[in-house]
Structure 1
């Protein structure tokens, strides 16, 4: 089946605008998110940004979905899901892609005010829990997810990110399997 060239170009432009959105949020925070800023970051006409994303909410939702998809891929594993593996992936991801995490948390906080974003906010935490602690339910699952979230936020706040061994120690304190 041949893909319509216009459709492929439109999808490529949308990806370009989403990546520009994340760069704007990383640089300026959500307060700096405008169609104009995204268009300038992407190097495209303003009309292109507003054509592909009629509202800033639509742009933010699509950017948040992109972040969630990226994190779901990063935390998916074919290996045995162990505490050490989770710690290593967390340490590597936050250290190697701090901009993605920073923009993701800006959007995560936006989800508190915008119920349409909340499903995306939970989705990546469900991926982590489903992958690394599928047997946890109820309050134990919530505590596990909150611990992972806290570790990620602390890593972004610290001058020196947590190492994998430090993360493993923190997880072991709250993970029933450890």
Structure 2
């Protein structure tokens, strides 16, 4: 999907926006971004969940009298579809999303992974029960003696294995 309508035409008319977040909790995990700069595949918060924007819809009139843009996103941790309507000149909350590659050292009997990144940090709190496809792929990789690498996506205090590759 592409960018809808005239959002970029009006982006030069927006005042300079303060990007500090004064909402209280999770100040370091999110920031404000003008809606007119959000594009497909960007990350935004919908109902306080980190989502990847999937679809923008056509502009509609909202009860405040402005123009609203419905958009849909996929929760990056649960794969649930979420939607929201944002008024054109408002800001969206955007989460800080980090992708880190880890060498997979071991998988315990309760299917928790022991991961090591390139600077020596260990992560051992990721359970593969939520990812049955990755679990079978990892077990097959270990059986072949491969050196598996896991990509972990982190945002808003949550982590998830998003990809796995044999090296």
The structure that is helix-richer by fraction is: 1
Taking structure 1 as the reference length, the TM-score comes to 0.27
Higher relative contact order (CA 8 A, sep 6+): 1
Taking structure 2 as the reference length, the TM-score comes to 0.28
Point out the structure with max Rg over C-alpha.
Answer: 2
